[in-house]
Amino acid sequence: MGSEGGHPFHGVGLFVRQGLVARTLAQDEVFYDAQRKTERFPGPRLERAWLEWSFEHAQTGETVVVLGTHLSPFVGFWGIRDLQVRKLGLRVAALPSDALVLLGGDLNAGPYYAVDVWQDAAGEDVGGFWRNASALPAPDPSADEPQAEGLGG
């Protein structure tokens, strides 16, 4: 899925078993406004985006929306990634409340570093790794709104 013109630049893909899809309701490919310019030029000509596919579930008739993305990586680009997360979050919030929404991808957002400061090969301190996390949701069982069920990194 994705346009012929855009897909080579983001490389995101969505896969759903054909038997689960009664009919496609909508497909979209959205490029983030916030981009690391060096990924486009002189880098690998990459532009961060998300794919969105909504369809009618064949067995239940319910609307399913699948979104896949690959957010900007690296500690120093947390601000760009945060803007990407905000744009994607606003899109998810605007989806119909009765739709099953599945969001996945490489979020480059996990707090997976054991320590915040590491030493490089020259023995110099390099820090700020914990800022790589865009958000650390803490599920609230008393909340009226749906909560995040998992974290990716």
Domain count, the chain: 1
**Consecutive sets of 10 residues in the chain, 153 residues long: mean pLDDT of each?**
67 91 95 88 83 97 96 82 91 95 86 74 82 54 51 39
For residue 113, the model assigns a pLDDT of 66
For residue 96, the model assigns a pLDDT of 95
User: Which residue range forms the structural domain that includes residue 58?
Assistant: 7-112+126-132
- Angstrom CA distances, 77 to 12, 43, 83, 120, stand at 20, 15, 10, 19
Alpha-carbon distance of 81 to 73, in angstroms, equals 7
For residue 131, the model assigns a pLDDT of 64
For residue 92, the model assigns a pLDDT of 94
Confirm whether 146 is domain-assigned. no
For residue 116, the model assigns a pLDDT of 76
For residue 74, the model assigns a pLDDT of 77
Q: Look-up: residue for tokens 């985006």? A: 49
CATH of the domain at 42: 3.60.10.10
For residue 142, the model assigns a pLDDT of 53
Alpha-carbon distance of 134 to 43, in angstroms, equals 24
For residue 115, the model assigns a pLDDT of 75
Confirm whether 16 is domain-assigned. yes
